[in-house]
Amino acid sequence: MLGKLLTALALMTASPVVAEPLIIAHRGASGERPEHTRMAYDLAIDQGADVIEPDLVMSRDGVLVVRHENEIGETTDVADRPEFADRRATRFIDGREVSGWFTEDFTLAELKSLRARERLPQLRPANTAYDRREPILTFEEVIAIARAGTERTGRTIGIAPELKHPTYFAGRGLPMQTALVAVLESHGLTGADAAVFVQCFEVGTLKTLNGMIETPLVQLIDASGGPADLPEQTYAAMITPDGLLAIREYADWVGVNTRLIEPRPGAPTALIDDAHAAGLKVAAWTFRAENAFLADADRIGDDPVTRGRMDEMVERFLRLGLDAVFADQPVIAVEAVRVMRR
């Protein structure tokens, strides 16, 4: 319901267990369908997710499209398309050399001719059955999917777009902030009560957006390194009490690597409490069910593909006061919330 989503977006709670934690489908139900596809988003909505998350990159003609990265060799069939063989290139993105095929070298029409495939076939072999069934989506199409999901389920489905590498794209003449705001404005999603919150690892991008829209903003924070646009800054400094207060000047949430909250099971840090004290809400990424992604104590057996105790991990984090869960298997997170509410 809209009440749940807006309450979670706008209000803080002093309870040790969040009253209405948000379940965010990380790239859709990406543990069960190829990520960022219509089928992944629709499944996540039907499983009870409150929010669907698209990662945004740009086409050569300036359209926001939905892919994990702008390099699309591992998530589409582009490598099998001889007409695009000469588009293979090497780029330096956020200080890292990357080789492959890049969205910014393709028009939207060309990107639409490609088909999505599973990014982690060794860990998620069942998902490969859905390879090459669907095209790349645009951001506008994800908005339409959320609105159709709202109508279908009677629950307001939110959207959590993440801007990927905006400084890099700006250097190529593709300003992401301008494109994002134009889409949000066209759909009436720039207000503080919009069922949208915009994420980015870059600080400058969020500060710019803070002056352009009232839509809630999320500062993403990894377990190491720092923002690509501020080489002198570290994420470690950003999660100190002073660092969190500085973030509150331009953002409403922090979205943090789970290891920053719980370096090992049962040994949490003070990050959630510190963020709440600074007036920030906290989302954690990414909860994944496969043993390969879990700490030893949460695994079941030794097979990396086998699903472990993600449900118990979600419950631990919610008892710490976590406000939102990014999950590849949202159905597990939804059920964990139900169990805690009994």
pLDDT of residue 5 exceeding 80, the answer is no
**In degrees to the nearest 10, what's the CA dihedral of 115, 119, 123, 128?**
0
Sign of the Cα pseudo-torsion (293, 297, 300, 302, in order): positive
Q: pLDDT tens for residues 189-217?
A: 999 999 999 999 999 999 999 999 999 99
Query: 282-304 pLDDT, tens per residue?
Result: 999 999 999 999 999 999 999 99
Separation CA 264–CA 261 (nearest Å)? 9
Mean per-residue pLDDT of the chain: 94
The arithmetic mean of pLDDT across residues 5-26, rounded, is 59
Q: Which own/partner pairs from 289-294 qualify as long-range (CB within 8 Å, at least 24 positions apart)?
A: 289/31, 289/328, 289/329, 289/332, 290/31, 290/123, 290/124, 292/123
pLDDT of 50 over the 60 cut: yes
Q: Which of 209, 202, 238, 213 is nearest to 223 (CA)?
A: 238
Q: Which two tokens stand for residue 157?
A: 């489905």
d(Cα 54, Cα 162) in Å, to the nearest integer? 6
- Please tell me which residue, 234 or 15, carries the higher pLDDT value: 234
DSSP codes joined into one string, 185-206: HHTT--STTSSB-EEES-HHHH
**What sign has the CA pseudo-torsion 292, 295, 298, 301?**
positive
Omega before residue 90 within 30° of 0, cis: no
Would you place residue 17 in the very low, low, confident or very high pLDDT band (cuts 50, 70, 90)? Answer: very low
Report whether 262 contacts 269 (CB < 8 A). yes
> Do 196 and 216 form a contact (C-beta atoms < 8 A)?
yes
Number of Cβ atoms within 10 Å of the Cβ of 16: 11
pLDDT band at 13 (very low <50, low <70, confident <90, very high): very low
At 2, the pLDDT band (50, 70, 90 cuts) reads very low
pLDDT at 208: 97
Residue 19, pLDDT score: 58
Cα(11)–Cα(32) distance, rounded to whole angstroms? 32
Model confidence, pTM = 0.93
Determine if residue 28 is left, alpha or beta; phi over 0 gives left, psi from -120 to 50 gives alpha, anything else beta.
Answer: left
Parallel/antiparallel/unpaired status of strands 324-327 and 22-26 = parallel
Number of Cα atoms under 13 Å in the Cβ half of residue 29: 23
Residue among 203, 256, 198, 257 nearest 228 (CA) = 203
Report the Cα–Cα distance between both ends of the chain, in Å, rounded: 20
Indicate if the pLDDT at residue 261 is higher than 70.
Answer: yes
Q: What is the mean pLDDT of residues 92-109?
A: 97
Q: What is the mean pLDDT of residues 122-151?
A: 98
Which amino acid is residue 20, in one-letter code? E
Determine the average pLDDT of the residues in 67-90.
Answer: 98
pLDDT band at 4 (very low <50, low <70, confident <90, very high): low
The more confidently predicted of residues 11 and 6 is 6
C-alpha distances out from residue 113 to 82, 128, 326, Å: 13, 19, 30
pLDDT at 341: 78
Q: Across residues 149-177, what is the average pLDDT?
A: 97
Does pLDDT of 83 surpass 50?
A: yes
